Structure 1
């Protein structure tokens, strides 16, 4: 496996939370981060995760959820007394029930140079299904067989699962639904069939036994998935000790499938690294990073809605084979780095 490095192309975020308007009246944008990425014609598109919440009110906690009434989805805000004890800024437990403190949707941002982006004002994918009641998050985009396949995390009170949607033009979208049930996330599709099968990396969220790791599954049609196989998991190195998860769609190189992934330390600091999988049999790992390629170092990577995070689920390859990696920073903004090999 070649020696790769990630070099930041800017010491400032290329997109910030303050660059986006809330899509819902009475709400504020808490974070615009973790974008999927692709090239469409002469444009670079980012599919941002945008977390919004009702404007705060002292002493009260307003929790947004999508509720189905007679089969019709409706955005609802539940109101509770704010807990007196400290709580996770993203997740709260009220009367034994877990809620997210914000509702995420997926929103497009567009650019001609891959650096300066104009975000849409309206969502591209908004949670509408019962299994999306707490939001849709952290998309990946794979161009496969003439269309763009979008995997994302669908969250509800029953846990996070893997949703799938397809589009030809990022105007009309076909929502397939949940293809891997909870608890699962961090799913990305390979851009080619292998042995006439669709392939996907995903991350079952184990708890009692084992650690969250990267698995491979296959499908005859891209919808029904099976033949799940463990590929690799966290090592004993601190920077990827707690859990790992796959990032953007794998890129085929002359060495094999290049996979970007994140790992978290014992103190839940996120880092980015690479793995190389066999080109013909991606369940076989050829190599992986001995040290992280990117860690939270800059102030806006260390301080935000959730601190000490660099998380990538989007990259693009230019015609000259340069690879640009878009990453979420501290669940607040978006950074850009270039992947090079020596």
Structure 2
């Protein structure tokens, strides 16, 4: 498959963004939802900011305070045997079966804008910021579905109660209406189809199983985009393959003559993240027609292999122009990149069920 990675890659890095919080540093600008609005390509960046600690033996964990609307810092001692600091992203509580206790950064959404899809200017202020108790550890990995004049933006919300999916909508990327949580914990990687199918809205989602089962893709339906039901398992892991560890939705499904094309992410047990594709029936999207045997994009470039969490390519949105699929994707949980692929070549690469 022919892949053209932009010469400017990575197109946005943490160095391009001024921290919003005093005493913090930007450690990630990645996993952006994508929209086209008013003649521009918009990247809804997940911006991760980390408090700067003057003491190497201390970790400062940021937590949004719903009372003050500001960020509080919880000081943790690296010598405290209750906590596991081995993962740079999270602090785990070993007394509670190593469940995560705090994140080491806090994420929010900031908009980057471009006329040509290559060079972006970044807003100074957050667009979506933590606002309630479901979001005290941050908001992450937004996706955008346009239906008519409305842009529905949904994203993971993180708190001690778990990770769920909340949604807002806008018509101008300035004024926002909050719709609350649409998928309860533990769930993420939600993708809403861009039109009704048989009179229903459809969405992909990825429950995270703690008792039995594995992290795989499900499909649900709704009459109003807010209340989802008739959940069905859609796509599973494949042992020994590039998507053997976990899978989840990536870009908003693309309507083609052959079916709905979903570009999804898959990871191995060693946490190597790639992008692949699955083709769903146009009239019955719960039916899988074909699927990638090999990734359509995998971490090969240096900026994809090295970073805050290396060996990761992770797309939350694309722009389709004829046969060209412009895939914007996060690299190494650090920066944003873009690659162009052929829609027809992706479809031709699929293995039919």
Identify the TM-score tier after normalising by the shorter chain. Answer: over 0.9
Cα distance change of structure 1 residues 37 and 83 upon mapping to structure 2, 3 Å threshold? farther
Residues in 2 aligned to 1:83 and 1:204: alpha-carbon distance in whole angstroms: 34
The equivalent of 2:229 in structure 1 is 226
Structure 1 contact 35–47 (Cα < 8 Å) conserved: yes
Q: 71, 74, 77: which is aligned to 1:75?
A: 71
Q: 131, 139, 147: which is aligned to 1:136?
A: 139
- Helix, strand or coil at the partner of 1:179: strand
2:100 is the alignment partner of 1:90: no
The equivalent of 1:159 in structure 2 is 162
Q: 239, 242, 246: which is aligned to 1:239?
A: 242
The equivalent of 1:125 in structure 2 is 128
Structure 2 contact 47–109 (Cα < 8 Å) conserved: yes
The equivalent of 1:38 in structure 2 is 35
Q: Which runs of 5+ in 2 are unaligned?
A: 346-353
The higher relative CO (CA closer than 8 Å, separation ≥ 6) is in 1
Query: TM-score by structure 2 length?
Result: 0.92
The equivalent of 1:28 in structure 2 is 25
Structure 2 contact 85–91 (Cα < 8 Å) conserved: no
Per-residue Cα deviation, 1:40-66 (whole angstroms, up to 9, x for no partner): 121000000000011122211111011
2:50 is the alignment partner of 1:60: no
Residues in 2 aligned to 1:104 and 1:59: alpha-carbon distance in whole angstroms: 23
- Helix, strand or coil at the partner of 2:211: coil
Residues in 1 aligned to 2:329 and 2:236: alpha-carbon distance in whole angstroms: 21
2:188 is the alignment partner of 1:185: yes
The equivalent of 2:200 in structure 1 is 197
Q: 81, 96, 99: which is aligned to 2:102?
A: 99
Structure 2 contact 78–85 (Cα < 8 Å) conserved: no
> What's the Cα RMSD here?
1.5
Structure 1 contact 65–133 (Cα < 8 Å) conserved: yes
Residues in 1 aligned to 2:253 and 2:79: alpha-carbon distance in whole angstroms: 42
The equivalent of 1:317 in structure 2 is 320
Residues in 1 aligned to 2:306 and 2:61: alpha-carbon distance in whole angstroms: 23
Runs of at least 4 residues of structure 1 off by over 4 A? 83-86, 94-97
Larger deviation, residues 140-149 vs 11-20: 11-20
Cα distance change of structure 1 residues 135 and 86 upon mapping to structure 2, 3 Å threshold? closer
Aligned pair count reads 336
